[in-house]
Amino acid sequence: MSLPLFTQRYPHGSQAFNALVNDQVTSALAEDIGTGDLTAALILPHSHAHATIISREIAIICGQDWVNACFLQLDKNAQIKWHIAEGDKVSANQFLCEIIGNARALLSAERCALNFLQMLSSVATHTNQYVTAIAGTKTQILDTRKTLPGLRLAQKYAVTVGGGFNQRLALYDGILIKENHIAAAGNIHEALEHAQKNKNVSIQIEVENLDELQQALSAGATSILLDNFSLDALQQAVNINQGKALLEASGNVNLKTVRAIAETGVDRISVGSITKNIRAIDLSMRIT
């Protein structure tokens, strides 16, 4: 089983990973603080404080690097101690971490730190629910490009923490020939022929029925997206394919249907909701 694309391109702790985190945190803090935190300015400038972050519900925790960067960008001497590891499952009212540092910095960084942690933990938690639902099958859970603008790579990282895998990271990262591309090219064969001129690039084509699947296989497709296929059609597709191409199911996927889809024998299932329909994990920070 291959590593998720994000893990390949941005190994945790690498220069590329750290640069991504710091850039996103810098942008978030600038958006929130702007010309200055007027409320935090009411606190004496050299005051120190101790803060704790607590989870209010069961969750897979993700985003520690973003939290650390939020506090350290405002107070390079802040001390941050995590009591759980990235990717750990926590219970309601569990103590996650403590931060000691300049009181103004802790107050100014609080909202951005919690925003990252709540959002990324939500993605990891939701992804893990799907991964757990299909446990024991050969199928992988994948994300899509249905992500929050500006935070795609962070969300794709969270998918990997939750046990999922990444579809292409972006449009530059691979070819996915969809219905409109096929229409513009003329037909499936023409679309694939043009795509296959690109060397060392992943190529996937979307089909909407078994006839189109046959056309794609005849044209040499090695990765095929089965769009909105019924369970019966998915099973037939697996039988027709006989392992020739990588098959990915998409559409009408939820926690109630995902197990049955996986049991048809498809290789992958892409789920847009794990990054699109997110509900922030309930966390809180308290300062003493």
What are the catalytic residues? Answer: 111, 146, 178, 206, 227
Report which DSSP code applies to 4: P
Q: What is residue 156's three-state secondary structure?
A: helix
φ, ψ at 157 (rounded to 5°) = -60, -45
Would you say 211 and 236 are in contact if contact means Cβ atoms under 8 Å apart? no
Buried b (16+ CB within 10 A) or exposed e, 99-137: bbbbbbbbbbbbbbbbbbbbbbbbbbbbbbbbbebbeeb
Tokens 């520690």 identify what position?
Answer: 64
Residues 6+ apart with CB under 8 A from 169: 5, 6, 9, 152, 153, 156
Rg from Cα positions in the chain: 22
Q: Where are the alpha helices (DSSP H) in 101-245?
A: 103-133, 152-161, 179-185, 188-195, 210-218, 231-241
What is the DSSP code string of 78-107?
A: -EEEESS-TT-EE-TTEEEEEEEEEHHHHH
**CB neighbours of residue 277 within 10 Å:** 12
